[in-house]
Every structure is written in C-alpha cells, then in structure tokens.
Amino acid sequence: MPRTPPYRPTEPPDSPELDPDSDADLDLDLEELDPATTSPGSHGSKRRGSGSGFEQRQPRIALRNLRMGGLRRSAKRTRGYGELGRDRIGDEDAIGLIDEDTHDQRYSDGSGIVGDDAPLLREHGSNGRQRPSTGGLNAFAQMRSNLRLPSFISNHSAAQDDQPEDEPGPDFNDPSASRTVAVGSLQATRYPPNIISNAKYTAFTFLPVTLYNEFSFFFNLYFLLVALSQAVPALRIGYLTTYIAPLAFVLVITMGKEAYDDIARRQRDNEANSEAYTVLDFSDSRQSRTNRNPANGLMSSSLRSRRNRLGQGDRLSDIREEEELTEGDGLTQSSSSPQVHEISKKSRDLKVGDVIKLTKGQRVPADVVILQCSAMETAQDRNDDEDLSSLLVDADETNIADDSEADKGDQQQSPGGSPSGETFIRTDQLDGETDWKLRVATSLTQSLPLEEFRRIRVTGGKPDKKVTEFIGTVEVLPSVHGTRNDMPGSGDVTSSDQTVPLSIDNTAWANTVIASQVSTLAVIVYTGPQTRSALSTAPSRSKSGLLEYEINSLTKILCALTLALSIILVALEGFSNTEGNVWYIKITRFLVLFSTIVPISLRVNLDMGKSVYSWFIQRDPDIAGAVVRTSTIPEDLGRIEYLLSDKTGTLTQNEMEMKKIHVGTVSYANEAMDEVASYVRQGFSMKSTNQALVTPSSSHTIAAGSTTTRTRREIGSRVRDVVLALALCHNVTPTTDEEDGQTITSYQASSPDEIAIVRWTESVGLRLVYRDRKRMVLESTDTGNVVVRVRILDVFPFTSDGKRMGIIVQFEEGTTSSSPALDTRETWFYQKGADTVMGSIVAANDWLDEETANMAREGLRTLVVGRKKLSLDQYHEFARNHQEAALVINGREAAMQRVVTRYLENDLELLGVTGVEDKLQKDVKPSLELLRNAGIKIWMLTGDKVETARCVAVSSKLVARGQYICTVAKLKRKDNAQDHLDFLRSKPDSCLLIDGESLSLFLTHFSTEFISVAVQLPTVVACRCSPTQKADIAKLIKEFTKKRVCCIGDGGNDVSMIQAADVGVGIVGKEGRQASLAADFSIEQFCHLTKLLVWHGRNSYKRSAKLAQFVIHRGLIIAVCQTVYSIAIEFEPEGLYKDWLLVGYATVYTAAPVLSLVLDKDVDENVANLYPELYKELTSGRSLSYRTFFVWVFVSIYQGSIIQSMAQLLTEVDSKKMVAVSYTVLVLNELIMVAIEITTWHLVMILCIVGTFLFYLGSIPFLGGYFDLEFVSTWGFLWRVLAISAISLIPPYAGKVIRRTMKPPSYRKVQGI
C-alpha cells in the first residue's frame, strides 16, 4: 500500500521535534546521520510503518553530545539553551523561511524544513550536506527572517523545498503539487489573501481603461481629433465649445455609468470581505500578544513557566531536568493546558490553516475541510430526548441506558447535526443544485479535543476547478503528553492509526452555506483566487452591442466620404491656386466643417434610447421583477440566434414527484398508489409495540382473507419488499425545525430524487423518523409504531461515474427488552441506480429494459432497485478489503470500486423500477416552442446526469417526439470521436446528447470540427458540464458563427457562462441571486425570456436601427448643404451655419422629434408572439445594413442639394436671406421626415414634433444675428420655404410608398396592411 507523504510538522504545540527546549528529539537513528545511504522515505516509513509491516529500528544516538559539542566548538558555553535552539532554527531560516512576512512565521508547514538539527533530520534534498555552525550564517539567517521578499521569490523557494524525491510522476495527488496544511499554525508557503474581487477597475486603471474602451470606437476617436484641431487658431471655426462640449458630455456620461457600476460591485465585494467569522485562537494567553519565538508556544506550560523562572545562565541545567522527565514517567500534561480562544476575524483576514466556527445560515468564506460538528442543543431537543431514545435501541450494547444516553442530542437533528460529525450544506451558488448535501467530519478529528487541533495535518491537492472531487488525507501527529512510546519514531504508532483519507464528503467549498443547526469547525485549505468558486468564475468584461460595431463600420465609410469630399473641393479650386492658406490647411478646415457627417450626437441619442428601452423592460407588468443591469446591449436581445440554457432551476423547478412504480408484473401510478398503501398497511401492521420488528425474512406476511389468491399474495410481498428497499436505500435525513411555535419535519438529501421517493414511501405508509450515520428507524404511518430498525454498516453514495447508490444494513429483530445475537441478524445490501448500469448488476430478467424505456418516453427519471443478502462472514471479508482499499492514495476510488463489484454488485434480486417526474417551470414547453419558431437554436447545458438531462429534454419538448437522440458518453479515444462527428454530419436533424468528459475531448482535439457540426443541429444537450466548460462552449459558438449568443441560468455555476455570452440572462430563484447579479438582464421565470427577446428585443433593435440612420441622415444633409455653399463661394472653407445655428440644429430643433422614434413600433405584442418568424428576420440585420445605409445617404444628398441650391437660386448666395430660407427648410424637412418614418403614432411623438416646430418659430425673433428678420416676416419667405420643402420631401415619400406597395415588409403582410 503506498505510503502517505511524510509530514513536515508546523508548530505543533506538543511535538518534541519542534520544541527547542525539549529533549524528545535528542535521539537519532544511525541512518539519519548518513543521508547518502538512507532512502528518502525512510523516516516516514519507520515512523508510521508501511503496508508490509514494521521495520526494525536501528540503534539511536543521543543528540545531546552533538549539540553540546557544537556549543563548545562555537565558544558559546555562556549562552542559554534557548538561544542555542534559536540558532539551530536560524540555519533553516536562510534556506526555507525567507518567504515569510514576519519573524514569527519561521515555523511553517507544507514544504518548509523545520526542527532542531534540521540538516541532519532533513528527509529530502539534503544530499548529505553538513549544517554550517558558524555564527555568521546564523546572524545572516536571523536578519533575513525579518525581511519580506517579493512573492515570486518566495513562491520559488517554497516550490523548491516541496519537491520529494521518492514519489511517482505528475499526478493530481503528487505531493509536489499538493499542500500540507498545519491546523491553527503558520504556514511555510505564502498563500493568497482571502479576498473576493469582482471589480473591473482600480483607481489607477479606471481612467486609462475606460478611455481606451471609448476611443476604440472610431467615431469617438474621430471627434477627439476634430476637437483637438480647434486648439489650432488656423483651423478654428466658430465656438471652441461647439466641438469639445458634445464629446466631453458623451465621455462624462459613459465614464460616470462605468464608475457607478464598478462602485456598486466594490460595495458588494466589501460586504462579503468584511463578513465576520469566529476563528479559534490556539496561542497561549500569555504569549498570544508577544509571541517573540513561535517555538515558545509549542512547549508544555509547566516547562515554559520553569524556563521563565530560570536565568540565561541556567538554561543548560534545564536540559537535565527535561531529560529526567523524559526518561522517567514522560512529559506529563500540565493542568494549565493551552487554552483555545474564540476571536472574530473578517473574511479578508482569514488565512490557510485557520480553524473557523460556522453555524446555520453562514456562508463558507473559503474552501475548508470539516474537522468537527457538534449539535446545538435546544430546549425542544432536551424535551424530545427521552421520547426518542426508545426508538434507538442498540442491540449490540449490553448497557442500553448508556447507549441511549450517548444518543442524546443526536436524534431528530434540527436539522441534520449530530455528535457523529454530520452537517448539511447548500451548494446552490456553486453547482446549481438546490438540494442539501451531507458533509461529515472524519472520525479521527471528530473526537479530538480542541486543544489538540494543532496536531492535525491536512494534505490536499493543488487548487482545482473540480467542485465534485477532492482527495486528501488528514493526519493527527502523536502527542508529547503521552508516554515515551507514543512519541514519533517509537515504532508503536502506525500510519493507519494516525491517518485517514479525505474525500468530497469532508469538505465545504467557498460560497456554500451551512444549513444544519450545528456548530461546524473547519480548517481553511484554499483561499481567495484559489478557491473552487473563484477558479470556476471568469472575470467580468465590458460588453458592447452588435449594433455599435455595425455603426462603427458605417462611420468609417462616412469619414472616408468626408475626407474625399474635402480633397475634391480643394482640388477643384486647384492646389496651387489657394489664397491665404496652404492647401492642406484648407483640407483640414473642410474636414472640420464636414464633421457633422459623423455626428457625435449619434452616441448620445443611442445611449438615451438604450435608457428608454431599459425603462420599458423594467416597467413591463408581464415580466414583473425584470432588472436591466447592462444597459448598453438591449438591441442584442433582438439578434439572438443561439440560446444556451441551464436545466436545474431554469427549465425545471427542481421539485421531484414519484409518479410510477413497477414491480415486475404490475405497474402502479396515480390512483393505483392506494393499492400499494393497502399492501404496506397489511405487511407492516403491528398490533402492539412488544412484537418483533419487521425484517425482509420475517414471518409477518400479508394478512390475507380466504378469497386472496396466491398471485395477489406474491404481488403484495413484492410491493412490501420494494417499498422497504426504497425506504432504506437512500441518504435522506429527517430534520426538524420550529416555525411559529410548531415543529415541522422535512427531509434533506443530496438528491431531490431521493427526497421524492422517501416522501412517497411515507405517503404509502412507511415513514422515516430517524437517521444518522449508523442507524435508521422506520415507523408505520397507520399505527405510529416503529416497525423497522436497522444499523447502517456502509453507504456507497451516488457518483457521476457509478450512477448508482448502495447501502448495507443490519436489521434489528428484537424488542426493547431483548435482542438476538449479533451473528443471527439479517444483513442486506440494497442498491438503486440508472438502468444502464443496474442492468448488468441485477439477475437476469425479461422486463427491465422494456419498462425503463416506457418510463423514459414519458420523461420520467428511472431508478432500478435491487437487493442481496449477505452472511456475516461475507460482510466481514468485504469490510476488511474495502478498508484497505480506502487507504490507498493513488487510485483509491478504483480500488474501492473493485472491492464493491467483487463482493456486492453481482446477481442482485431485482425488486422494481421507479419513475420520478422533474416538474418543469411555468410555461416552459410553449416558450421553447416559440423560441424555436423564432429561429433560435437551443442548447441545454447542465451539470446533472445524462439520464436526467435526457428526461427533461423529452418532457420539455426540447427534443421533438420521434427525433433521434445521438448519445455520446465516456468518450476517451480520438478515433472514436471522429466517428461520432461523421455520424452527426449524416444526421443533421438529430439531437446531440453529450457528457462533460466527451465534450472535453472534442473541445481539446476537434474544437473546430465539433462546433461546425454542432451549430447545425437543432438541439444540443450537454451533461456533466463544469462552469468553465459552459463558458467555453459559449465562446466557441461566438467565435465560430459570429452570431449573437444568449446564456440563461440561475445558479452560481452559471455565472461564467452568463459573463461569456453576448447577452447574459439570470433568473432569480431558489438558487439565490448570484447569477442574477452577474447577468446583463435579470428575470424571475424562464417564460419571461420570450417577451424579453421577441417583444422588447425586437423593438429595441428596430428602434435603434431607425434612430441611428436618422441621426446619420440629419448630419449628412447639413454637410451636403455646406458642400453646395462652399462650391458657390469658390471653394472657400467658410461655415454656412455658425455657432448657435450649428449647435441648435443638432439639439433643441431636431433632437426631441428624432429621439421620439424610440417609441415607435411596427407591430403590436400579440402579432409578435403569434408570428415569431418575424423575429427571425431581425437576425439577418436588414434593419441596419449597407443597403439601407446607402439609401439614406442618397436621400440625404438629394435633399441637401435641393434645399441649399434652391435657397441660393431663390435668394442671394451669401446673404442672411439665404441662410434664413435654407435653415428653416432644413429644420422643417427633418420634422416632416420623422413623421413620415413613424409607423405607430404615440402622443409623445406628436408633442415632440409640434412642440419643436413651435419652439423654432418662437426663437426666430432672437436669431437676428443670423437671419434677415424683415424678410422672414414677408410672404416671399413663406412661399420659398414651402416650395423648397415640397420638392425636397415629395420624391422620397413617393419612393417609400411605391416600395411598400411593390414589396411590402413581412410585418405589413401579417397585419394585412
């Protein structure tokens, strides 16, 4: 059996190896003095033993002579022994302890090398080096121990010290990649602080990052250059603020929004980081504040007090006193044992090795290993103890009273906690599952006094993303407070006595919540960015909508048009004929004049429009509770082509209900369950409490009347057996809680399926009333008497690989007054699991495959139930082999499974099949159908089992009836992967069902080929997906298809996927608000997504597309007028509309009517839902395309040319009359164009258009500096304005009417317009 990695003690309070004043380590093996000839693992094997037995001990040499010789040679006879010990430690400071923050951290764990005479005792990497004894090195080491070096140096040295020589190659459990945590002590390796940070910026990065994000858009950069050009006097045109103010306004608004969002994120982080936790402080009260030398805290208090009384000159005599104690009766524990104090620490101050005390409802702040659980006894518990103890008769114990007393506080937990070390946690924010999960403390630490916690060493692997796996060990170092034979190296303590394995059942990851009414003590193993939760979460990023990128491309075209126009105008005049200014100055001035072609108001209008869309979404009564957290991408809701959805809590309610049970010849469902209840009543009826308990082989048969047939008796017996099996084969614990003075009993388990089954057994007459790690009690709901009492011998929990759960129980047959001998009790192995694995485990039959297929077609989750009777010898042989396999470090799970398969999982008696329904969320079926009709391809990504995902996909109609489901699971070879890809290409209409392992293989070796095939399939279901895999799939679809991807989920495990998507939607549900807070949009039910996409998404995109094109038209038309004017005045770069006219045109005279387009809608909501195919048109981007853009460019050129040329022809070219006519027609033209583009009128639109026109008329008297007011008041001005407006507006309107008549849009077809 592989040996566990040798421990490297870290400041254990009682370990003589670390006590500089103790003689416990004054003896040394001969082999230890010759490292060159000693195997690297010799000390570990001799100290703990090995799988093949104990090795012979070599003679030991007293180290006192070595130490005293070193003391004399160093001419330090006058120094105390304490100083001598510090010098010995100081040598190692120069090697391994340079990493630490303070001098107090010299004793640490993990890979550091500590202990007296460390170079002699060093187990790895010493290469026979002699310890230097010069005082210079000691002084240098002491100096360096007070220095703090950069982390990259610290980590390097730690990594070097942590490389064992005798371990196998790279592996998850390789000690070189693992960490050993000294409980309650300082660590040798520096670990990251336990800080949560979701902020995007820091004080230093905010300005540069936000400015970079803003100016990465071309039109922002363009306007920055235009604004900067106005600082040059030769290029200045009009007011400087005309160009700078709009840009500054846009930047301030955008950066202010980013700052506000980031401050809110920091506040949420600060709340979590400032959460207070109770931490156990193991330092002695007299040394806790000073703690000058960590070794001082490791001595017994009697030795420490004696040392304090002795002077420096008396230290050597202390050696003799300690030796006498050691060689006599041993170091006895003083009455003043180290005290354990409770102190409060903020989450950010917690460190690896801290022992925290957690209670019900507390969030786990870091990844921890549970050491101890103790029930928090309440008054109700004390009152119930006497009544409940009668249920828990232990037939093995001769003293029943003692056994009942030991169970006090252990029965009917409130909920879940017990002295046996059990607690429940909620993992909804980590893996998306709402059910509670059972966690246990190891038996080694559960019974350990708090004062001895510092003897514990926890070994775990490197930080990992896998939230469902953990392999490690926990070791309790021998105590110095025993006899000499109890000390390390004595040869009397074996590894099996001091070390036990750790699994996922002994852990609680960060962001899980303690759900039991227990006090849980746990040691922190991983902190901050190394926790499972942090490693599975992708960093947040800024999102920009597809529309913004499209507009960015269009503005580049407009800018090129501006440059070309400027060069052409200068060229027409002639580069050499320019007067006053050189030609490039004129080109630059023209660029500034034509800057309105790329309107900066476009960004302002779009941002205001986004705010309006967000307001509509949040005020919609049909999707109450909707929250818009990212207001920059509402238009993308109308462009979604791929929807990636979580299952649990998103498509389903995660509420299970037992629907059907089949016992071989008869199937029961619905009303037929009453017949099952009658069989159970007859089979488990007991007339008095003194009768023997029911066992599978008991004589309590069904009470049948004279007319009962043999077939009916056989069916009744089968029903009784399967109900009993279902009532016992589970991990469910009954819990009680008080609400409004009433005691409420509920069930908690790691699987909602099990809870549903146990509730069903209660409904048919067999109730689970008590459960702990060793016993289970069932009572009849009909009589209220205890009918079944079993001792739990072993439990084999469900795993994703095994897909089954088993339990070995021993039935009690006696009453409270008498019990049979141990060897006469019935021992049974029960197991339930998926039909795919149970089919080969149960005995041959002819009905299992057919019935499971029938239930699967109904969308039910099937479980096959079987049992096997074991003799006492069979069980003992199994238990012995299983325990040996459990201590294997490498390949532990496989070794344990081989034992289970060999002794238990063969020829099980098939009892029946159950069918459990996972209730769907409200209106999931019609919602999925509507989204599919809208052209959205739906993927379901879940961390659940393959069978569960298949059932939900069928029941939710995600997979159509009759549609072929191609299942790819447990794929390990690349050639097989290629075969599956070829098959999928041949069946493009099938549904792909793939598990996480196979998906990982595809993404690693065939990512492009896989995604090219998968995106063509109508439906893909991925099971057993990690949070990172979900995010990778979203990114891969985005990169390959360049389409918009929406991800929706409700748990903390969906955060990475939501943040990786173009549009992330979080559902506020049972699994908390973590997904909701990280999402761009938050809703309360899945069915709300349809309105969010089909209605609000459609409106947002259509409105923004129309608004963007109209703003471009508004800027382009004024640029065309400027061009015509410049040609008329012989190509001079003089402004047509200056100062207020230019500013007012883009603001008060046209802004409100143009912005009112955000209220327009082409269809009503009923039509959008009735014809979801209308949504499919949006994904092609036709509303804002190059075709529509150039149509608007042509309209702008036509209208601008007509307005300016006609105004110049009907008036004088360079006069105030021309400006008055041209500007008035320009404003009137925009107002009427807005009216022409409106599809559905709104009161606000009318007010904006009419109000703006009246405001313009009212402002004309104040424009005397630009207009000829006398001319404006004449009829000549009026008819010129009307005539030019008619010529400008009638042709575009006529073209629009003709186009709608010849080729009407789809929305007009469905409306019949």
Active site residue 995: no
- Other CB atoms within 10 A of residue 592 CB: 23
Dihedral angle computed from the Cα positions of residues 812, 813, 819 and 821, in that order, rounded to the nearest 10 degrees: -80
Own/partner contacts of 36-39, CB < 8 Å, gap of 24 or more, are 36/127, 36/128, 39/166
Q: How far is CA 53 from CA 121, 474, 764, 896, 911, in A?
A: 23, 21, 54, 22, 45
Show the DSSP H helices in 627-773 as ranges: 673-683, 710-728, 752-763
Q: Are strands 472-476 and 909-920 parallel, antiparallel or unpaired?
A: unpaired
Kind plus residue range of the DSSP H or E element containing 744: strand 742-748
What is d(CA 745, CA 765) in angstroms, rounded to the nearest whole number?
Answer: 16
What is d(CA 281, CA 356) in angstroms, rounded to the nearest whole number?
Answer: 10
What is d(CA 825, CA 819) in angstroms, rounded to the nearest whole number?
Answer: 9
What letter would DSSP give residue 418? B
Q: What share of the chain is helix, strand, coil (3-state, %, to 5)?
A: 45, 15, 35
Q: How far is CA 523 from CA 368, 372, 423, 529, 536, in A?
A: 5, 10, 15, 17, 22
Q: How far is CA 857 from CA 486, 712, 938, 953, 959, in A?
A: 63, 29, 21, 11, 11
What is d(CA 532, CA 366) in angstroms, rounded to the nearest whole number?
Answer: 9
What is d(CA 161, CA 129) in angstroms, rounded to the nearest whole number?
Answer: 15
Q: How far is CA 266 from CA 258, 272, 351, 1079, in A?
A: 12, 10, 21, 16
Report the b/e string of 10-23 with b at 16+ CB within 10 A: bbbbbbbbbbbbbb
Of 14, 646, 918, 1162, the catalytic one is: 646
- What crossing angle do the helices spanning 206-215 and 241-273 adopt, rounded to 10°? 130
Where are any strands of DSSP class E within 983-1116?
A: 991-995, 1019-1023, 1044-1049, 1063-1067, 1081-1083
What is d(CA 1142, CA 1234) in angstroms, rounded to the nearest whole number?
Answer: 20
Report the b/e string of 720-730 with b at 16+ CB within 10 A: bbbbbbbbbbb
What is d(CA 645, CA 610) in angstroms, rounded to the nearest whole number?
Answer: 25
Quote the longest CA-to-CA distance of the chain.
126
Residue 41 three-state SS: coil
- Residues whose CB is less than 8 angstroms from the CB of residue 1129 and which lie 6 or more positions away in sequence, other chains included: 1213, 1214
- Other CB atoms within 10 A of residue 464 CB: 17
What is d(CA 266, CA 9) in angstroms, rounded to the nearest whole number?
Answer: 39
Q: Of 501, 503, 470, which is closest to residue 2 (Cα–Cα)?
A: 501
Backbone phi and psi for residue 504, each to the nearest 5 degrees, phi listed first:
-60, -25
Residues facing residue 501 across a β-bridge: 473
What is d(CA 1189, CA 1167) in angstroms, rounded to the nearest whole number?
Answer: 28
Tokens of 1238: 């409106």
Chain-centroid distance, C-alpha 299: 44
Residue 276 three-state SS: strand
Q: Write out the catalytic residue numbers.
A: 646
